[in-house]
Structure 1
């Protein structure tokens, strides 16, 4: 049998469906790969080998019994450690939840199980999804398989690194300000943020409730679409879930793979046309735009003047919501508890627990958010930021009257070395400069590899109107048909 770890999810599914390999054999191959390389990559926080093999055996038994299975049955998947998994450690990259085993599955995990995918384990992430490099994980950083001395993006760097290191063919991430797309860009993989409300947040440990969006990560656009189809759709448990079917993203990806974009209008966002981006990133982006033009796409320049305010607006809205959401981690109900020795009051236990359990970036954002929501400052900060959010939404609405999708680089720079931005939070926050507007708007976005700069991957971002996720998959697959996939060096 060929090395299944180098195959796409679509190829693995066909191999299993055709009887050329069992789900157990495929799962064991990926567990062996994790054992061989993850001590260097550190993509996983927890590997559930026994659970994975048990799930794989169940898939093989159902197939042997003649049951009809889904298109991803038997395919392994890695899950960002922000989603609750029954009986499996869920830490959100934080000491405050070290050792916590949830009593229930998130909706995303339930749907993964229902689809017959095999969960390999939980991937590393910036603590509570706050970061752009996975350096803020309480359990140590993840390396980028292209250069283990560089970051794999964040907050979902573990999921993207697992893909690039061939430890998993599929992964789940969550995107609050770019945490699926930015890691995808810097690891040469595909990362898609669905429309807000298009995937359920039930069981997703909340960072910023009006922004958090779980979504698919893969090595090809079609694989991402198949995973999106499996996890998406309405969920009555999530009050923000959209009561509408998932757009036909799989058909769109297959259509795009033909390489025909005749009649498709691509909006080039003038505000993201080069300012602040590395020259090599812009060169790869421009080459990709030329390639899309040759496929028949029409390039239309669009102006979104309020995008320049997205970063400051985001860093008022997201911290404000996080300061509220993280109040539940108090050392009383679950997780870490410090000072519970009878010598401290309840208030002291809470204070000691939060001081020991939260890392510096989480503390920074809690303090920012608490200040922005405080009496006398709410209207000046949080209220103003929400007004900016409305203006950004209007920019998107106007732009989509001129173009079918908008395009930009995914992130201004390639993967940077560990430690090069941690001392300057603003420089770290710039990693999400191009991705944040989509989160504030609520629409879908995808990052697709578009070339290399200095030997490191560059991503092209495609943004679509809300509930038009299929458009981004069509354009992304068309780009992939000419650019191809990127192969990192051997580990």
Structure 2
């Protein structure tokens, strides 16, 4: 079996081939490592490739299978991990020069669970510095490029994870979503991205951006693959005080139920405030077509209003910078990471901190730290941060009221397809608007999924977002898998099967 064939298979298909003995984990892992070697110079999805460790894990899984031991369903299926997730013995930089060369002494909980499942970790993926961005252009190590068009962005902050999956460098990846950083990259790269309910996946070992918003989740090619991965990494963790007690079960069953294409009795709400102006015509057209497919599958589609959602973007860009200002205070040049001493004058703690942060942080990180520090300062706290938290409460109440009427809420995931590299880099406000439809879910703590639902008029992927009540993640998988099945006749499954060739020297695609 060729390496190309192996890299084109979904995680579920690879798992089946591994169980049957058709292929070994070493073969699967090596095929993906070869693919990374062939195309990643062009895509730049990875910051660090851990070939030796990945192959060691693969050999261990193969030996256990050969000995007749019981192993996890996904054992031997390789995965990529966003570089904001700490990994023992592997560099973790959060896309920032201030952590260049840092090797953590411990694993994040979700990484422990990947190891326990026997999943080889291919490496760490590129990202906007400390997850601040919507394009992966704010990485301290250079931008990632969209495999659909190498002159375009792959979304952010988790563009590296999305691009790795879209470029067939990994069948699965881990992302984190603070305001859409899994779902928005999914929309613009034609991949599936899931933000679980806040607390549904442990945050222990995630380098924090905004602690009340951050959530790790799956990046995959199909909805079923996301459900399989979600059940591996989800569930309670006593080391995370915000971790929910709910087990991560029933998600795969919900996805398989949805794959029948039957949504009889499901009430789908279209949010008026997420269906206004500003959407690219092709994005809107695919959204309307998807709604018709849901109706044809038996779903009841109704309009609902969440009136305070229009203030979500403003509230988010006060809450997030405020929490980031606090969380990033630890990077001071004293304890770990980069240390820069002043060129002249006394070497004091204050001057070392200023020199280190000035050299180690990029422009977007500095911008948000300044904004957050100001919003938290004496005399302004109530006017800005306090008021934003009140708006957040109103948005949560809006969603609660909406879910009294419907089972799920839907919208386009992102207002446009992937824009060109550099197009919005000097316009922070234009960049922030890319997350207008995804941010409300983070403020409310509810789960969301982005499912590829076709190509826009420019030939680039668009995404369909489904939101569910907190702790009702299974609904995402049922509706998402149903839509995926209904779209298969038009767009194929996965959508990436229609992607143009990634033309690079030595590429096998």
Does TM, normalized by the shorter one, top 0.5?
yes
Take 1:406 and 1:351, find their aligned partners in 2: how far apart are those partners?
46
Take 2:440 and 2:322, find their aligned partners in 1: how far apart are those partners?
17
Take 2:74 and 2:246, find their aligned partners in 1: how far apart are those partners?
22
Task: Please say which of residues 126-135 and 331-340 is displaced more in the overlay.
Answer: 331-340
Task: Please say which of residues 238-247 and 226-235 is displaced more in the overlay.
Answer: 238-247
Partner of 2:478: 474
- Tell me, yes or no, if structure 1 residue 397 matches structure 2 residue 400: yes
1:179 to 177, 181, 199: 181
Deviation at 1:163, TM superposition (A): 0.4
After superposition, give the CA deviation of every residue in 1:101-143 in whole Å (9 maximum; x if it has no partner).
0000000100011111110000000000000000000000000
- Tell me, yes or no, if structure 1 residue 461 matches structure 2 residue 465: yes
Matches within 5 A, 1:246-325: 246-325=248-327
Take 1:98 and 1:186, find their aligned partners in 2: how far apart are those partners?
28
Deviation at 1:381, TM superposition (A): 0.3
Q: Report if the CA contact (8 A) 1:24-1:56 is conserved.
A: yes
Q: Which runs of 5+ in 1 are unaligned?
A: none
Aligned pair count reads 491
Matches within 5 A, 1:231-250: 231-250=233-252
Q: Secondary structure at the match of 1:172?
A: strand
RMSD: 0.9
Partner of 2:350: 347
Matches within 5 A, 1:191-270: 191-270=193-272
1:6 to 8, 14, 34: 8
Q: Report if the CA contact (8 A) 1:221-1:253 is conserved.
A: yes
Take 1:314 and 1:274, find their aligned partners in 2: how far apart are those partners?
19
Q: Report if the CA contact (8 A) 1:196-1:444 is conserved.
A: yes
Q: Report if the CA contact (8 A) 2:342-2:351 is conserved.
A: no
After superposition, give the CA deviation of every residue in 1:67-95 in whole Å (9 maximum; x if it has no partner).
11111100010000000000100000000
Take 1:133 and 1:340, find their aligned partners in 2: how far apart are those partners?
33
Deviation at 1:17, TM superposition (A): 0.8
Q: Which runs of 5+ in 2 are unaligned?
A: 489-493, 503-509
Take 1:330 and 1:77, find their aligned partners in 2: how far apart are those partners?
33
Take 1:50 and 1:319, find their aligned partners in 2: how far apart are those partners?
38
So what's the TM-score if we normalise by structure 1? Answer: 0.99
- Tell me, yes or no, if structure 1 residue 96 matches structure 2 residue 105: no
Q: Report if the CA contact (8 A) 1:59-1:74 is conserved.
A: yes
Take 2:306 and 2:120, find their aligned partners in 1: how far apart are those partners?
42
Matches within 5 A, 1:429-468: 429-453=432-456, 454-468=458-472
Take 1:429 and 1:117, find their aligned partners in 2: how far apart are those partners?
35
Deviation at 1:340, TM superposition (A): 7.2
Task: Please say which of residues 1-10 and 84-93 is displaced more in the overlay.
Answer: 1-10
